[in-house]
């Protein structure tokens, strides 16, 4: 009895998560613009989607932005996490607190504050303003991911290396980085995901010359019902599933 | 040799400090400054310094929006907690070998753009949408039900988008719960309710609090959810700030709203931090 009630509860919540997405996917094949009634199978929304060149430019922009922001945030965030762990310096606690605050500070406040900064410094809103903003909101997440991994290391490794005469740079390249790369990679991945899905901060610091995917979707969605969005939903959902299956297979192979 | 070591340390620390000062501290100081600036049609910000923006916030419209935002975000957090806690509990205590699959299934919808997920809610909630059609087919209602463009729609949209943020911290927290404590309580004669109230609830409090923070904070500022699902009256703080900056072009007032909002959040977080102590504060990270 208990088993049945808990599994039906789980099912209900999963249905709540998945039904809206599955409905969109189903309607992406419907041959009608507004109606919910089935008008026959059609691929015309996919045709529209793949011939919408503005959209693909936005996808390309988002990828460039996401990859650059994630890479730079990974470098800066990684170095910060390593310094926080290895060195004792003036203001260490303040730095730690600042990163904590940055994670919790509302996106919208970060968005408007960067907008004010850029307009005072007369930075043209576009790729560079977006890049600076995205790096800023990604860094704390990288620091946290890498730091939580680095504290689990055995401290004696570093001491042994030091006793054997290794310089800081050698310890970094020969010991820390090889041990840390999975954490750095997950920090990178998290940053990329955050960057490619960010609406709120980008909304304030984006310019007309550099359209990115989330803002493009936002402008499409605001205009009302667009079956193209259904097709886009199906494509991203399919892509996610594929990536997950691939990563599961790779993880399985490794012991 | 020592000199060489210093370079790396100096390099990493100066980069992060410079970055945080220029792109986090300085901008925030600028917002605070801007909130004291005055507004005119030619310049976005101009001086003399004034308190007029804060006085304007006393206006009943703004007070109402602040109250409404806290109310909607609060209710949304409560719903997420009530829905998410049993869900996280069942999955965390599950003995099945598919447990990691169940966890993965919570995260998968996440990777679809949150805008698209919000848009999917329009399809569900509109007058001839899925929910209304099903209810009509079942004969529960006899004319199309319009949920779209109401506060209820905003609430559903927020819960739909934010529920995973409640479930995931709870899940990690409940998984770490020591089963022996629960067994001991039962052995000593506590009934289910007492065990829950005296053992499980206090031990999972850190998870509950971090989940609530992760839901409550964005709920007030995700301006695109009220924008897409709400009516003309469902304006939350996020929409108000966005409006002042990009439509009304009144940056000083927008800044003042953000400053007041940030202060309120800071007070809330400070209370949270004081009540849990340093250890949980680090666990949250």
Q: What is the CATH number of the domain that holds B145?
A: 1.10.3720.10
Asked if the structure places residue B64 within a domain, the reply is yes
- Mean pLDDT, chain B, rounded, equals 86
Asked if the structure places residue B1 within a domain, the reply is no
**Number of compact structural domains in chain A:** 2
Question: Are A23 and A137 part of one and the same domain?
Answer: no
Asked if the structure places residue A238 within a domain, the reply is no
Give, for B188, the enclosing helix (H) or strand (E).
none
CA separation for the pair A96, A99 (Å, rounded): 5
The number of residues making up chain B comes to 285
Asked if the structure places residue A242 within a domain, the reply is no
Asked if the structure places residue A219 within a domain, the reply is yes
- List, in order, residues 6 or more apart from B207 with CB less than 8 Å away: B88, B169, B170, B171, B172, B173, B174
Asked if the structure places residue B16 within a domain, the reply is no
Asked if the structure places residue A249 within a domain, the reply is no
Asked if the structure places residue A232 within a domain, the reply is no
Domain that holds residue B110: 59-284
Taking CA atoms, what residue in B is nearest to A235? B112
Asked if the structure places residue B54 within a domain, the reply is no
Asked if the structure places residue B144 within a domain, the reply is yes
Asked if the structure places residue B14 within a domain, the reply is no
Structure confidence at residue B285 (pLDDT) = 40
CA separation for the pair A65, A42 (Å, rounded): 34
Average pLDDT over residues A185-207: 93
Question: Are A123 and A188 part of one and the same domain?
Answer: yes
Residues of A in contact with B26 (CB under 8 A): 117
Nearest-by-Cβ selection for A21 from B15, B120, B238: B120
Query: Per the CB < 8 Å rule, is A82 touching B12?
Result: yes
pLDDT classification of A175: cutoffs 50, 70, 90: confident
Taking CA atoms, what residue in B is nearest to A131? B23
pLDDT > 80? residue A78 = yes
Domain containing A130 — which CATH number? Answer: 1.10.3720.10
**Number of compact structural domains in chain B:** 1
Query: Per the CB < 8 Å rule, is A106 touching B220?
Result: yes
* Shortest Cα distance, chain B CAs vs residue A204, angstroms: 8
pLDDT classification of B281: cutoffs 50, 70, 90: very low
Question: Are A96 and A169 part of one and the same domain?
Answer: yes
Structure confidence at residue B83 (pLDDT) = 96
Q: What count of other Cβ atoms lies within 10 Å of the Cβ of residue A160?
A: 12
Structure confidence at residue B2 (pLDDT) = 47
Domain end marker among A10, A26, A45: A45
Most confident range, picked from A72-76, A175-179, B198-202: A72-76
Q: Tell me if B131 sits within 8 A of B125, measured CB to CB.
A: yes
Structure confidence at residue A1 (pLDDT) = 55
Query: Per the CB < 8 Å rule, is A167 touching B4?
Result: yes
Asked if the structure places residue B21 within a domain, the reply is no
Residues of B in contact with A76 (CB under 8 A): 15-16, 19
Average pLDDT over residues B201-205: 89
Asked if the structure places residue A92 within a domain, the reply is yes
- Model-level ipTM above the cut of 0.90: no
Question: Are A28 and A93 part of one and the same domain?
Answer: no
Question: Are A25 and A149 part of one and the same domain?
Answer: no
Question: Are A14 and A62 part of one and the same domain?
Answer: no
Residue scoring higher pLDDT (B274 or B160): B160
Asked if the structure places residue B279 within a domain, the reply is yes
Identify from B5, B7, B8 which residue to disrupt to test chain A contact, counting A C-beta atoms within 10 A and taking the largest count.
B8
Domain that holds residue A76: 51-224
Question: Are A190 and A117 part of one and the same domain?
Answer: yes
């Amino acid at each position: 009895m208990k088993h049945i009630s808990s599994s039906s509860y789980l099912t209900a919540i999963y249905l709540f998560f998945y039904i809206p997405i599955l409905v969109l996917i189903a309607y992406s094949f419907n041959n009608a613009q507004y109606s919910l009634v089935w008008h026959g199978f059609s691929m015309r929304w996919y045709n529209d989607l793949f011939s919408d060149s503005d959209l693909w430019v936005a996808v390309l922009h988002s990828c460039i932005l996401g990859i650059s922001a994630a890479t730079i945030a990974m470098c800066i965030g990684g170095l910060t996490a390593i310094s926080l762990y290895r060195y004792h310096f003036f203001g260490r606690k303040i730095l730690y607190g600042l990163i904590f605050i940055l994670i919790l500070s509302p996106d919208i406040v970060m968005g408007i504050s960067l907008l004010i900064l850029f307009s005072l410094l007369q930075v043209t809103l576009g790729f560079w303003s977006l890049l600076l903003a995205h790096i800023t909101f990604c860094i704390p997440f990288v620091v946290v991911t890498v730091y939580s991994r680095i504290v689990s290391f055995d401290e004696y490794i570093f001491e042994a290396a030091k006793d054997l005469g290794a310089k800081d740079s050698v310890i970094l390249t020969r010991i820390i980085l090889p041990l840390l790369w999975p954490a750095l990679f997950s920090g990178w991945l998290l940053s990329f995901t955050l960057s490619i899905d960010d609406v709120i901060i980008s909304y304030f610091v984006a310019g007309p010359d550099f359209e990115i995917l989330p803002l493009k979707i936002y402008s499409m969605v605001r205009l009302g019902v667009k079956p193209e969005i259904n097709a886009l939903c199906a494509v991203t959902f399919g892509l996610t599933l594929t990536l997950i299956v691939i990563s599961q297979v790779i993880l399985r192979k490794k012991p | 040799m020592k000199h060489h070591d210093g370079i790396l340390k100096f390099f990493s620390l100066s980069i992060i400090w410079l970055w945080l000062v220029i792109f986090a501290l300085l901008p925030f100081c600028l917002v605070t400054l801007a909130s004291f600036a005055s507004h005119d049609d030619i310049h976005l910000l101009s001086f003399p310094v004034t308190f007029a923006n804060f006085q304007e916030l006393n206006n009943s419209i703004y007070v109402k929006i602040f109250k409404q935002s806290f109310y909607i975000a609060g209710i949304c957090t409560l719903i997420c907690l009530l829905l998410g806690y049993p869900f996280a509990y069942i999955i965390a205590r599950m003995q099945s070998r598919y447990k990691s699959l169940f966890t993965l299934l919570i995260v998968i919808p996440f990777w679809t753009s949150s805008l698209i997920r919000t848009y999917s809610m329009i399809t569900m909630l509109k007058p001839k949408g899925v929910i209304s059609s099903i209810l009509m087919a079942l004969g529960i209602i006899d004319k199309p039900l319009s949920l779209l463009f109401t506060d209820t729609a905003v609430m559903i949209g927020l819960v739909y988008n934010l529920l995973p943020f409640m479930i995931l911290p709870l899940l990690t927290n409940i998984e770490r719960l020591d089963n022996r404590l629960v067994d001991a309580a039962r052995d000593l004669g506590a009934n289910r309710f007492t065990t829950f109230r005296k053992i499980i609830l206090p031990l999972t409090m850190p998870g509950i609090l971090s989940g609530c923070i992760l839901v409550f904070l964005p709920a007030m500022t995700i301006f695109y959810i009220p924008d897409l699902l709400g009516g003309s009256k469902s304006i939350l703080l996020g929409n108000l700030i966005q409006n002042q900056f990009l439509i009304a072009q009144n940056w000083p007032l927008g800044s003042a709203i953000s400053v007041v909002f940030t202060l309120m959040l800071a007070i809330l977080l400070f209370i949270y931090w004081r009540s849990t102590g340093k250890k949980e504060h680090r666990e949250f990270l």
